[in-house]
Amino acid sequence: MADTQRVIIVGAGPVGLISAIRLSEAGIPTVLCEAGPGLPHDLRASTWHPPTLDMLQPYGLTDRLIEAGLISPTWQIRDHETSDRAVFDLSILSEETDHPYRLQCEQHKFGGFALDWLTRNGDTETRFSAKVTGVEQDADGVMATVEVDGEIEQLRGAYMIAADGAKSTVRDAVDLKLSGKTYPETTFLATTTFPFHDHLEGLSNVNYVWSKDGTFSLLRLPGVWRASLYPDEGETVEQALAPAAMEAKLQRIVATPEPYEVLEVRPYRIHQRIVENYRVGRILLAGDAAHLNSPSGGMGMNGGIHDAFCLTDLLIQVWRGADPGLLDRYVRQRRPIAEKQILAQADRNRARMQERDPERRRAHLAELQAIADDPVKAKGFLLRSSMIDGLRQAAAVT
């Protein structure tokens, strides 16, 4: 098949990889360009929501994630000092999904499984150290300028999926702005072997916690916990990153005579941003290239994978001859969900956990406990927080 028929996918994060799998399975040739020398391995997503696991099941990816992760039937919001908690039990969703739980598994493991799939199946040319530096399009197709080991190459294709993440080059090249805000705080994600579950009564694998010193979250992964921590009042990022300061923050969660074994600490800033359009002609944005949200609630990667499923469904039809205008449905279906569900929920989750006033915290917790204890309310709440509602709303848009 002529190169002009293929789809160029920029970025081998979860969104680019699953887009390649979906198109490849439909018999559409793709070239996947990744700027890095291999798959990204940085400390990022850990939570997989039920509908994402349902979607990945036919590719054998869900089974691999489950094998490599931790099934988490509940998650909770708790008060550190009193251990009072609102525990949300996802088994209430068992009639809505084949996977009524959150799965805790590192994002980079998914990358490995997806690349395995691409190596064994389909027609994807995966190119590492291939940084897209410019894009152009005309009535017949798209062209990417790619820098490979200092050499410049031009690739032609019929369409392009920009899955090149928060700093998307493609987004800049088509002059789209990622509008919104950056939150003031820096968060530190510290991975430790310390077994919090042996010390804090009734923990789930995902815990969002208020404490007298502020807030933190504890996320369990196979063999380790990740703690999301914040600088203390008046502490700079550099000061907070010092091993002694990190140790002090962890000791405040559970005091132990032995120092914590900390495997990795990653500081990051969080944003609430979205582009005004996901489509410019033959170029389509998906995942972090199109929208960014607080990781509170674990929705960024999941939402990006949902983008990829919606987009590839439509792109397969267009590639086979349907009217290219069909691609606007992708924008109509996914952009409002990102803005009104994902970004808005993540913003509320973050604001709730940043609350410092003890009275308001108590009121939030009482309200959440009332929801968790009422099966009808709990189901409604979990359908939203597990991203099932958003997908159903998107599917109803024509």
**Which residues form the interface with ligand FAD (CB under 6 A)?**
10-16, 33-36, 40, 44-47, 107, 131-132, 163-165, 169, 189, 268, 287-289, 295, 298-302, 304
């913003």: which residue's tokens? 347
CA distance 61 to 78: 32
Task: Identify which of residues 44 and 80 has a Cβ nearer to ligand FAD in the complex.
Answer: 44
Query: Least CB distance from residue 83 to ligand FAD, whole Å?
Result: 24
CA distance 242 to 249: 11
| Ordered DSSP codes for 231-278 | PPTT--HHHHHSHHHHHHHHHHHS--SSPP-EEEEEEEEEEEEEES-S
Task: Identify which of residues 174 and 361 has a Cβ nearer to ligand FAD in the complex.
Answer: 174
Which helix (H) or strand (E) covers residue 313, if one does? Answer: helix 300-319
CA distance 255 to 247: 10
Query: Least CB distance from residue 15 to ligand FAD, whole Å?
Result: 3
Sheet holding 178-192, edge to edge: 85-89, 74-79, 206-211, 214-221, 224-229, 178-192, 262-275, 291-292
Q: Extract the tokens encoding 89.
A: 């039990």
Residue whose beta carbon is closest to ligand FAD? 13
Query: Least CB distance from residue 366 to ligand FAD, whole Å?
Result: 27
Query: Least CB distance from residue 30 to ligand FAD, whole Å?
Result: 14
């509602």: which residue's tokens? 389
Query: Least CB distance from residue 328 to ligand FAD, whole Å?
Result: 21
Task: Identify which of residues 16 and 214 has a Cβ nearer to ligand FAD in the complex.
Answer: 16
* Contact status, residue 221 vs residue 106, Cβ threshold 8 Å: yes
Query: Least CB distance from residue 157 to ligand FAD, whole Å?
Result: 14
Task: Identify which of residues 96 and 164 has a Cβ nearer to ligand FAD in the complex.
Answer: 164
Which pairing describes strands 7-10 and 30-33: parallel, antiparallel, or unpaired? parallel
Task: Identify which of residues 333 and 386 has a Cβ nearer to ligand FAD in the complex.
Answer: 386
Task: Identify which of residues 162 and 361 has a Cβ nearer to ligand FAD in the complex.
Answer: 162
Query: Least CB distance from residue 255 to ligand FAD, whole Å?
Result: 26
CA distance 137 to 319: 16
Task: Identify which of residues 126 and 361 has a Cβ nearer to ligand FAD in the complex.
Answer: 126
Residue 206 vs residues 44, 87, 175, 222: alpha-carbon distances, Å: 15, 10, 38, 13
Query: Least CB distance from residue 244 to ligand FAD, whole Å?
Result: 23
Query: Least CB distance from residue 234 to ligand FAD, whole Å?
Result: 24
Task: Identify which of residues 10 and 218 has a Cβ nearer to ligand FAD in the complex.
Answer: 10
- Helix/strand number for the chain, H first, E second: 13, 20
CA distance 169 to 8: 14
Query: Least CB distance from residue 381 to ligand FAD, whole Å?
Result: 18
Task: Identify which of residues 302 and 333 has a Cβ nearer to ligand FAD in the complex.
Answer: 302
Q: Judging by beta carbons within 10 Å of its beta carbon (0-12, 13-18, 19+), is residue 145 exposed, middle or buried?
A: middle
Task: Identify which of residues 131 and 362 has a Cβ nearer to ligand FAD in the complex.
Answer: 131
Q: Judging by beta carbons within 10 Å of its beta carbon (0-12, 13-18, 19+), is residue 184 exposed, middle or buried?
A: exposed
